[in-house]
Structure 1
Amino acid sequence: MYLTGDDVADQLLGSSDFALLAGMLLDQQVTMEKAFSGPAVLKERLGTVDPRAWVDLGEDEFVRQASIPPAIHRFPGSMGKRLYDLCRVLVDEYDGDASAVWADVQTGAELKKRLTALPGFGDQKARIFVALLAKQRGIRPPGWEQVAGDYALDGYRSVADITSPETLVKVRATKKAVKAAAKSANLPAAESAGERS
């Protein structure tokens, strides 16, 4: 994967479904590189990228670790708590296995429903992650294109389309153009451009 510009962080995203899911959760109101580097930062501090171990720390200690400079997010308290809540759901409902969220889904609609039930995953973030799973992990339940919407199309719309340093630049350029168009049309940027990935 080529989401952070850091080989260690990108390798973790490529090898850990949980790290990828956690990075997607953090991907708002910070750069994509910062968001998707968060799991690697926490792994270095905590020695693991296992949601069960993170839950075992307790919420207060986990949020404290997330907030140590350099913090994992510009809002480390609220986003650290949200990430802890995600870990708790994964432990309670999926035996700590992030891939179980999508392993046995029968349709794209079911996948999106499971994702939007997770802490921190609204409609748009879920659609982007459906596209990311399809394009970069080969997880393509029937109907995934419909639930992913435009993110399923070829092009450079989101994190799902980044497969090299060059495509990262193209996604950045597309997002910049969308935001500029939204600004000139007096639309809220979030309505037009969505979240940062």
Structure 2
Amino acid sequence: MKESDQHILELIQSPFTKEIGYRKLIESYQKKVYHVIRRMVIIHEDADDLTQNTFIKAFKNLEKFERNSSLFTWLYRIATNESLTFLEKKKKRYFFSLDDHQEKMESYLDQPGSLDGDQIQIRFQKALLKLPDKQRLVFHLKYQEELSYEEMAEITGTSVGALKASYHHAVKKIEQFVLNE
């Protein structure tokens, strides 16, 4: 565990500095957590809500944090679980088929100002939306966050071998989509 994580945890454990510790936790990790969630759910408002939910869950469950990983890894695990659960609930709540859900997310990408970037970036984002949620998460953690397979295994609770296979399949699907679009 990093020294700064240790310091944050010490602040949170003291009743006199608990609020300062929580503030430091949010300051240290809010942007990273938001970006992980945003890449999963695409829509800013949903990502904002899920980021807030992630930190609420972290605050409520801080005593369960075992300290055998970094706060970063623990928060990412909460964030990815929140994102995957949200996407599943959203699909069920609105009776979306997988294709309808992807179409809705793609239409959001086509709106002006939804994402920065040119057409290639938008095509890339659409390709990511074609991936199953868990493959998209693995691709994001490996390619965009540049995490090792071991770090990803800690976050997702999945074996390194399964993560490598999932990443490989995701890359192939993205290549096919981008080349055929």
TM-score, normalised to structure 1, is 0.25
Q: Rg larger in 1 or in 2? A: 2
Structure having the higher helix fraction is 2
